[in-house]
Structures are given as C-alpha cells and as structure tokens.
Amino acid sequence: MSKPTSPRPRGSRDLWLDAALDLLVSSGIDAVKIMPLARAVDQTRTGFYWYFKDIGALHEAMIDTWEARNTGQIQARCEAPAQSIGAALFNLMDCWLNPALFDARLDLAIRNWARNDTRLAARLESADNARIKAVRDMFLRYGYSKEQADVRSLTTIYTQVGYISMEVEEDPLQRLNRVPHYVEMFSGQPPTEEEIADFMGRHQTPQ
C-alpha cells in the first residue's frame, strides 16, 4: 500500500509577492497573472488565495512594497546622521549604487505601469513628492534657503528619475567616480577628501 502523499506546501506570502515583482520587472504588469505566478513558485493556483483575496490585493501589496523599498529608503538616507551636506548627499547617493537600498528596475517598472493606471499614477506622484520633500528637508537642515532647497531637491531627484527612465547604462566604476561631482553640483560645495574616501570605501570592491 503506497503512502499518502503530503499536501504541497503553499509557500509564503513573500514568495508569491517576490515572484510577482520579478514578473513585473521582466515583463510588465500584464504578465502578472495567477497561473504564471503559480508556475514560477511551483505552487497550485489555490495556494495564491491563502495570501491574497484576488489579483487586485496582490497589486496593492506590490505597490506597497515598492513604496517601502524605494521611497522609504530615500527618506531614511536623507534623515541619516551626517556632519555636512556633502556627507548627507553621499548617504543619499548610496541608494543609486546599491540595489539593496533602491531597486531602479522596479522603479522603472512601476513608472511604466502607471502610464495606464490612473490610480497608480496618483500614488507615483505622491511618492515622487515625498522623495523631493525628503531631499528638500535635508538641504534645509544644512542652512540652505527655501528657494535653494526647492531647486536643489528637484535637480537631485529629477536627475535620478532621468537615469531610470532612460535606462542609462554606465560602467560601474565610471559612475562611482562621477558621484563626487554630482555631490558638488547638487550642493554647490565640493566634498572633502575625507567624505569622498568614506563614500568610495563603502562601494569599491576590495582587491
């Protein structure tokens, strides 16, 4: 007599959510459907409903995750302790160089999705405004006038949005070496050698 087969494990909510985000990034929102997701996580269709009421609930979770990962990290880096505006901007620039802090591919996928989803477009606008405010508040803390903080925050965020939207590909070392010049452009002040060395030390791979 054969042994009864054990029920297939239903995975976890994060397993389904991560698979959905991967599909969004690779193929767009139209590809995010329950059956392809079930195949991707080696689960049954029924398993999906243990974690999400419907595909709309999954979409909401995807957007929430994007906001926490990307907008939340920008806000956190802008609020991180720093002795100068140069050091503060280097903290923010960590996001653009470390995918664990800021997922540029996910940001682009969300922006593409928002082109055909007015509700998401409103969320995206709100997220961009929150990012700009975080950078503006950072400049204000270091003594910039409101007008200067406004323009410098817009320049900082719009530059990165341009990188994302244009899918700019740079040699990683070249981009790293450009960051101190961006810091000087955004702040109007050259960073110190110590600030540059500290930033480079965080990102250069040991030989």
**CB contact set of 42 (below 8 Å; sequence gap of 6+):** none
Instruction: Tell me: pLDDT of 207 over 50.
Output: no
- Longest alpha-carbon distance in the chain: 81
Residue 188 gets the label, from left (phi > 0), alpha (psi -120 to 50) or beta, of: left
Closest CA to 45 of 8, 72, 18: 8
The model's confidence at residue 7, banded by pLDDT at 50, 70 and 90, is: very low
Q: Residue 5 pLDDT > 60, yes or no?
A: no
**Predicted local distance difference test score (pLDDT) of residue 55:** 96
pTM, rounded to two decimals:
0.89
pLDDT of 93 over the 80 cut: yes
Per-residue model confidence as pLDDT tens digits over 96-135: 999 999 999 999 999 999 999 999 999 999 999 999 999 9
Query: 106 near 69, Cβ under 8 Å?
Result: yes
Distance CA 127, CA 71 (A): 6
- Note the pLDDT of residue 172: 86
Q: Which two tokens stand for residue 18?
A: 């991560």
List the one residue out of 154, 107, 120 whose CA is nearest residue 134: 154
